[in-house]
Amino acid sequence: MKYISTRGKAPALDFEQVLLTGLASDGGLYVPEHLPRFSAQDIRDMAALDYPALAHKIIAPFVAGSIPDADLKTLIDDTYAEFRHDAVAPLVQLDSNQWVLELFHGPTLAFKDFALQLLGRLLDYVLERRHQKVVIMGATSGDTGSAAIEGCKRCKNIDIFILHPHQRVSEVQRRQMTTVVGDNIHNLAIEGNFDDCQAMVKASFADRSFLPEDRSLVAVNSINWARIMAQIVYYFYAAVALGAPERSVAFSVPTGNFGDIFAGYLAQGMGLPIERLIIATNTNDVLHRVMTTRSYDRQPLVHTLSPSMDITVSSNFERLLFDLYGRDGAAIADLMQRFDKGEIKLSDSAMARAAELFSSYRVSDEETCAQIASTWERCEYLLDPHSAIGVRAAMQTKLPAHVPVVTLATAHPAKFPDAVAKAGVEDRPGLPLHLRDLYDRPERSQVLPNDFAAVKDFMAANLSA
Ligand SMILES: Cc1ncc(COP(=O)(O)O)c(C=O)c1O
Ligand SMILES: N[C@@H](CCOP(=O)(O)O)C(=O)O
């Protein structure tokens, strides 16, 4: 399997190379040259597989040639053995047609664990084999950071630097990052917002002057292809449980960086009958605006009750644009250059293609609270604010009556007790046992100005030998 850049100029890479990078050298994002396809019978047969076996089936064609199959299987089995629910991703029924896919049973209580627990193991495996050390960098609005640290903390050959917006993540999210002990783990609290952190990570791929020549830079954000790959699996898992391939299913996905929903788009491209993908945004609604007005532009970032989705530039949207524009790298390079300078309008044909599969819905903080409260009252089911946005969007979208809608529940409500309280729910969601002493653990982080030079200096000064 080869991977090509959305901007057409960077060299094609194999899986191992793509795992060990982030942005392509032309500034684009890597995507598979072609997608593996599963027949209706293949999908029917998936009903007999448990989550790790299904993950192996879906992931193996993307990794083919880079990691021996038996080793890949072990890495995948070990990854999902860490999850606290036997089903790994249990489905919960809210009403006759609404379902929630719980993606928060991993160690850090967010869907990011599905990919980052595997990514950490893949990196460890490949780096040991290559006798190589790398620098890992990530930007987080709260969840990617802790999941990346948790996923990579046992890797011997890394230094990891995670940038989060100072005082803009929930207390549980912050403590999950800053209480993990290790001389090679660095939490940088940037006096800016998530977009600033993400821009610095991307800039580091263009300016690696602060790194020794023998250290590669690896991204743990969803610009790294391996993140998206692992997230494709749970679309198959949920749809097959609900009757695919005989029955098609819709998904509502709380969206920020467009990584999770892009994995759903790929699942459809691989043969899964997905009726609709609903882009569910908070007030930072760049994706809802583009879907409803054709206009793709930056607006100032708003801090909401769903902080992990406080993002105004959705990195992975470029991967979708690449397909919508006929996989024309030059067209995407031109489009993204113009986007860097201001507003762009998508073509009619690109919009028409997007509308065949995607719908979108924007949810305010008030609506988020109302959804948490009403789902609690009607179903005694507690949603976190991000998942509540997904459920709200699912309920507002018109779909054929026979199509079940699955909302991806992307985080555990215990990560966001303030939002739950604001929604008027009196029961406090408790942290699971392994995190019960989270508030007593010592924290370690460094506050830095919103300045790329300061970040580069910090990283250069704190690399291990
Ligand atoms: C809890 C939660 N929900 C939803 C999202 C949005 O996912 P994506 O960025 O892949 O669109 C994120 C982070 O990005 C998140 O942490
Ligand atoms: N929501 C994320 C932001 C980064 O998204 P990613 O999928 O590109 O890692 C977070 O919580 O950190």
Ligand found nearest the CA of 287: 1
- CA distance linking residue 327 with residue 33, whole number of Å: 10
% of the chain exceeding 70 in pLDDT: 100
Q: Ligand 2: which of 190, 257, 386 to mutate, judged by most atoms within 8 Å of the beta carbon?
A: 257
pLDDT of residue 181: 86
User: How many other C-beta atoms are found inside a 10 Å radius of the C-beta of residue 401?
Assistant: 6
Q: Is the CB of 110 under 6 A from ligand 1?
A: yes
- 432: which 2 tokens? 């699971």
Residue 446 has pLDDT above 90, yes or no: yes
How far does residue 400's CA lie from ligand 2's centre (Å)? 32
Ligand found nearest the CA of 222: 2
% of the chain exceeding 90 in pLDDT: 97
Q: What phi and psi, each to the nearest 5 degrees, are found at residue 136?
A: -105, 135
Ligand 1 atom closest to the CA of 143, numbered from 1: 16
pLDDT of residue 65: 87
Q: Is the CB of 113 under 6 A from ligand 1?
A: no
- CA distance linking residue 110 with residue 260, whole number of Å: 12
Q: How many Cα atoms sit within 13 Å of 366 on the Cβ side? A: 0
Q: Which amino acid is at 352?
A: A
Mean pLDDT, rounded, for 411-418 = 96
How far does residue 291's CA lie from ligand 1's centre (Å)? 19
Ligand 2 atom closest to the CA of 164, numbered from 1: 12
Partner residues linked to 32 by β-bridges = 3
pLDDT tens-digit series, residues 343-366: 999 999 999 999 999 999 999 999
Cβ-contact 100, 407 below 8 angstroms: yes
How far does residue 257's CA lie from ligand 2's centre (Å)? 6
Closest by alpha carbon to 111, among 328, 260, 10?
Answer: 260
Burial of 33 (0-12, 13-18, 19+ CB in 10 A): exposed
pLDDT tens-digit series, residues 162-195: 999 999 999 999 999 999 988 899 999 999 999 9
CA pseudo-torsion sign 343, 164, 229, 405 = negative
How far does residue 256's CA lie from ligand 2's centre (Å)? 7
Mean pLDDT, rounded, for 271-292 = 98
- CA distance linking residue 328 with residue 335, whole number of Å: 11
- 196: which 2 tokens? 């600033």
Ligand 2 atom 4, closest CA: 140
Q: Is the CB of 279 under 6 A from ligand 1?
A: no
Q: Ligand 2: which of 103, 111, 141 to mutate, judged by most atoms within 8 Å of the beta carbon?
A: 141
Q: Is the CB of 146 under 6 A from ligand 1?
A: no
- Indicate the pairing of strand 216-219 with strand 134-139: parallel
pLDDT of residue 106: 98
Over the chain, what is the mean pLDDT?
96
Q: Is the CB of 407 under 6 A from ligand 1?
A: no
Secondary structure string (H, E, C) spanning the chain: CCEEECCCCCCCECHHHHHCCCCCCCCCCEEECCCCCCCHHHHHHHHHCCHHHHHHHHHHHHHCCCCCHHHHHHHHHHHHHCCCCCCCCCEEECCCCEEEEECCCCCCCECHHHHHHHHHHHHHHHHHHHCCCEEEEEECCCHHHHHHHHHHCCCCCEEEEEEEECCCCCHHHHHHHHCCCCCCEEEEEECCCHHHHHHHHHHHHHCCCCCCCCCEEEECCCCCHHHHHHHHHHHHHHHHHCCCCCCCEEEEEECCCCHHHHHHHHHHHCCCCEEEEEEEECCCCHHHHHHHHCEECCCCCCCCCCHHHCCCCCCCHHHHHHHHCCCCHHHHHHHHHHHHHCCEECCHHHHHHHHHHEEEEECCHHHHHHHHHHHHHHHCCCCCHHHHHHHHHHHHCCCCCCCCEEEEECECHHHCHHHHHHCCCCCCCCCCHHHCCHHHCCCCCEEECCCHHHHHHHHHHHCCC
Mean pLDDT, rounded, for 322-350 = 96
Q: Lowest mean pLDDT: which of 101-105, 253-257, 425-429, 452-456?
A: 425-429
Secondary structure string (H, E, C) spanning 157-212: CEEEEEEEECCCCCHHHHHHHHCCCCCCEEEEEECCCHHHHHHHHHHHHHCCCCCC
Q: Which domains does the chain have, with CATH numbers?
A: 80-106+225-422 (3.40.50.1100)
Per-residue pLDDT band at 402 (split at 50, 70, 90): very high
How far does residue 193's CA lie from ligand 1's centre (Å)? 15
Mean pLDDT, rounded, for 81-105 = 97
Q: How many Cα atoms sit within 13 Å of 337 on the Cβ side? A: 8
Closest by alpha carbon to 410, among 292, 282, 253, 267?
Answer: 253
- CA distance linking residue 410 with residue 76, whole number of Å: 20
Q: Is the CB of 389 under 6 A from ligand 1?
A: no
- 433: which 2 tokens? 């046992």
Per-residue pLDDT band at 427 (split at 50, 70, 90): confident
| Locus of tokens 């403590």 | 175
Ligand 1 atom closest to the CA of 386, numbered from 1: 3
- CA distance linking residue 160 with residue 182, whole number of Å: 10
Q: Could you report the predicted ipTM of this complex, rounded to two decimals?
A: 0.99
Name residues contacting ligand 2 (CB within 6 A): 140-145, 221-222, 256-257, 259, 308, 315
pLDDT tens-digit series, residues 122-171: 999 999 999 999 999 999 999 999 999 999 998 989 999 999 999 999 99
How far does residue 40's CA lie from ligand 1's centre (Å)? 30
Per-residue pLDDT band at 429 (split at 50, 70, 90): confident
Mean pLDDT, rounded, for 268-276 = 98
Q: Which amino acid is at 84?
A: R
pLDDT tens-digit series, residues 203-247: 999 999 999 999 999 999 999 999 999 999 999 999 999 999 999
